[in-house]
Amino acid sequence: MEAFFTRQGEKAFRASQLLKWIHQLGVTDYDAMTNLGKGLRAHLSEHTCIGLPRIMHAQHSNDGTRKWLLRLPDGNSVETVFIPEAERGTLCISSQVGCSLNCSFCSTARQGYNRNLSAGEIISQLWIANREMSAFGQEQRVVTNVVLMGMGEPLLNFDNVVRALRLMMEDHAYGLSKRRITLSTAGLVPGIDRLREECDVSLAVSLHAPDDELRDRLVPLNKKYPIRELMAACKRYVAGQPRRRITFEYVMLAGVNDSPRHAYQLLRLLERVPSKVNLIPFNGFAGAPYETSNTSAIDVFRDILIAGGIMTVTRKTRGDDIDAACGQLVGRFRDRTRRSIRMQEMVRDPRP
Q: Are residues 261 and 319 in the same domain?
A: yes
pLDDT the model gives residue 347: 36
Do the bridges between strand 145-148 and strand 275-281 make them parallel or antiparallel, or are there none, so unpaired? Answer: unpaired
pLDDT band of 336, cuts 50, 70, 90 = low
Q: Which residue has the higher pLDDT, 290 or 324?
A: 290
**Most confidently predicted of 83-92, 192-201, 312-321:** 192-201
Query: Residue 208 phi/psi, 5° resolution?
Result: 70, -5
pLDDT band of 87, cuts 50, 70, 90 = confident
Task: Provide the CATH number for the domain around residue 45.
Answer: 1.10.150.530
Q: Are residues 250 and 115 in the same domain?
A: yes
Return the DSSP state at 92. Answer: E
Cα separation, 310 vs 271, in Å, equals: 9
**Most confidently predicted of 206-210, 283-287, 325-329:** 206-210
SS3 state of residue 251: strand
Q: Domain end: 35, 50, 65, which one?
A: 50
pLDDT the model gives residue 343: 45
Does 350 have pLDDT greater than 50?
Answer: no
Q: Which residues contact 273 (CB under 8 A, 6 or more apart)?
A: 231, 234, 235, 238, 246
Which helix (H) or strand (E) element contains residue 158? helix 158-169
Question: What pTM did the predictor assign?
Answer: 0.89
Residues annotated catalytic, as ranges = 79, 326
Q: Are residues 5 and 92 in the same domain?
A: no
pLDDT the model gives residue 109: 75
pLDDT band of 346, cuts 50, 70, 90 = very low
Q: Are residues 307 and 184 in the same domain?
A: yes
Q: Are residues 156 and 16 in the same domain?
A: no
* Residue 339 C-alpha from the chain's centroid: 22
Task: Provide the CATH number for the domain around residue 276.
Answer: 3.20.20.70
Cα separation, 260 vs 65, in Å, equals: 32
Q: Are residues 172 and 42 in the same domain?
A: no
pLDDT the model gives residue 328: 47
For 18-72, the pLDDT digits (tens) are: 999 999 999 999 999 999 999 999 999 999 999 999 999 988 888 888 999 999 9
Q: Are residues 239 and 139 in the same domain?
A: yes
The pLDDT of 102-127, averaged and rounded, is 90
Q: Are residues 127 and 32 in the same domain?
A: no
Return the DSSP state at 178. Answer: G
In total, how many domains does the chain have? 2
pLDDT the model gives residue 18: 97
pLDDT band of 242, cuts 50, 70, 90 = confident
Q: Are residues 102 and 164 in the same domain?
A: yes
For 6-16, the pLDDT digits (tens) are: 999 999 999 99
Cα separation, 104 vs 107, in Å, equals: 8
The helix, strand and coil proportions of the chain, stated in percent and rounded to the nearest 5, come to 40, 20, 40
For 255-281, the pLDDT digits (tens) are: 999 999 999 999 999 999 999 999 999
Q: Are residues 128 and 33 in the same domain?
A: no
Mean pLDDT of the chain: 89
Q: Which residue has the higher pLDDT, 180 or 324?
A: 180
For 126-179, the pLDDT digits (tens) are: 999 999 987 555 445 689 999 999 999 999 999 999 999 999 999 999 999 999
Q: Are residues 46 and 78 in the same domain?
A: no
Q: Are residues 107 and 151 in the same domain?
A: yes
Find the domain containing 8 and state its range: 1-50
